[in-house]
Chains A and B, each alone.
Chain A
Amino acid sequence: MSTAGHETAANAPTAGEYIVHHLTQWNTSGHAQKNVIDFSIINIDTMIFSILIGALGLFVMWRVARSVTSGVPGRLQAAVEIVLEMVNDQAKGIVHSAESRKFVGPLALTVFVWIFLMNAMDLLPVDLLPMLWQLVTGNEHAYMRVVATADLNATLGMSVGVLLVCLYYNVKIKGVSGWVHELFTAPFGSHPLLYPLNFAMQIIEFLAKTISHGMRLFGNMYAGELIFMLIALMGAAWSVSATGVSLFIGHVLAGSAWAIFHILIVTLQAFIFMMLTLVYIGQAHEAH
């Protein structure tokens, strides 16, 4: 996690510049996004890494699925089976419709594997891929972020996807009239005076679910990435002095500790996102 190549003597970035640079997406506008919301821009790095990683995860599972046997499984098959079985068990416990599970099960598996792999990109040295990219392009200010789940667009994109699935199952299971009825009568009860309040609560519930769903994953990965950068700053400040050497040692110790702890966060956040996906879809199946 050295930043040596980044620091030329002439224009060594300050710690603030370093972090801001690392937290800026490579996008289609050619420069850092200026407005908070600008739908004319797409983050190229997020798309590349999320699609590549998703394709890789699915490819490995597809390879297993193609040669799957009900006899003695190989190691890879056993590993994929363990994950699939775990997801399937959770799905069975939460979504009680076997028909829905034909889609919800694969969806939850995709969510878990995809997010797990994208989160795991956090464990690569924070400067490795960005520096390589800067070498390849020859532009030492080229932006690149490798952890797609540390981009709010990616996580909100997925949580909105889950919201759409929830809306679909609400309509499919309860019918349009049943769902509209629920929108206006739950949670406080069926009374004309309560209709606006119920509807407002329902809208808030959907919004809160979706935003917290996406924000939770984003926040965890963003914070994790930020801490890796702060640790990297320690190592970058090393010199041949007592302070410098202890900073270097601090980098190694803190970096190792945080990386090990991050294995837990990577897995846990993928699991939480998957479980919430299942819970929200399960709720869409249940009448209030």
Chain B
Amino acid sequence: MNLNATLFAQLVVFFILAWVTMQFIWPPIVKALDERAKKIADGLAAAERGKHDLALATKRSTESLREGKEKAAELIANAEKRAAQVIEEAKVAAKAEADRIVAGAQAEIDQEAVRAKEQLREQVSALVVAGAEKILRREINAQAHADILATIKQDL
């Protein structure tokens, strides 16, 4: 273990090697390591985001499904209600129509009856007048007793 100038030579070599490492070896490798670390971090973040998105999408689809079901149920309920309403309305309309027809028929019948009565009355009065004329030909002046005849006709 002798000391000599090797010590200084080694000192110089030491710094040259360190300098070479600093210039040409360390920076590119550290850069690559940092890049890879970033890539991995980004990948993990993306995966996390993807998972989150998936959860959101699942939630959203469940919600839409539920909404769709609700809407369909509502539509069906509405349609049923509307159908019932239509039936009800039709019933009412039919009943009204029936009533109207019945009423019309009744009115016609009444009218017919009145007309028949009127005719009957005319004929009866004509008959009565004719009968009375025949009976009372001599005593009764048709003109003089027209008002009486009209009254009788009225009462019939």
Contact-size category for A: 35 or more
Residue of A nearest to B11 (CB): A157
Given contacts A36-B2, A156-B7, contact A161 B14 (CB under 8 A): yes
Is B1 at the interface (CB under 8 A from chain A)? yes
- Can you give 11 contacting A-B residue pairs, CB < 8 Å? A25-B2, A40-B4, A41-B5, A43-B6, A46-B10, A50-B13, A51-B13, A62-B25, A68-B29, A70-B33, A70-B39
**A11-19, A98-106, A125-133, A258-266: which lies at the interface:** A98-106
Residues of chain B touching chain A, judged by Cβ–Cβ distance below 8 Å, are: 1-11, 13-15, 17-18, 20-22, 24-26, 28-33, 35-36, 39
A-B contact count (CB 8 A): 140
Q: Is the CB of B33 within 8 A of A81?
A: yes
Given contacts A46-B10, A51-B13, contact A61 B25 (CB under 8 A): yes
Residues of chain A touching chain B, judged by Cβ–Cβ distance below 8 Å, are: 25, 27, 33, 35-43, 46-47, 50-51, 54, 58, 61-62, 64-66, 68-71, 80-81, 84-85, 88, 102-103, 105-107, 109-111, 114, 151-154, 156-158, 160-161, 164, 218, 222
Closest chain A CB from B37 CB (angstroms): 9
Interface centre among B11, B17, B28, B33 (most CB of A within 10 A): B17
Could you tell me the distance between the alpha carbons of A194 and B23 in the complex, rounded to whole angstroms? Answer: 44
Closest chain B CB from A67 CB (angstroms): 9
Q: Is the CB of B22 within 8 A of A152?
A: no
Closest chain A CB from B136 CB (angstroms): 142
